Amino acid sequence: MLRVVSVNDMEMDGGGYYQGSEVYLRREELNHTGAHKINNIVPQALLAKKLGKERMIAETRAGQHGVATTTNEAA
Residue boundaries of the structural domains of the chain: 2-74
User: What distances in angstroms separate CA 18 from CA 6, 8, 25, 67, 68, one per listed residue?
Assistant: 10, 10, 20, 43, 41
What are φ and ψ of residue 61, in 5° steps? -55, -55
Cα–Cα distance for residue pair 50/26, rounded to 1 Å: 28
Consecutive 10-residue averages of pLDDT for the chain (75 residues)? 60 65 70 70 85 82 71 67
pLDDT at 42: 80
Note whether 72 and 45 are within 8 A (CB).
Answer: yes
Number of residues written out for the chain: 75
Which residues are CB-contacts of 27 (< 8 A; sequence separation ≥ 6)? 1, 2
pLDDT at 16: 65
pTM: 0.47
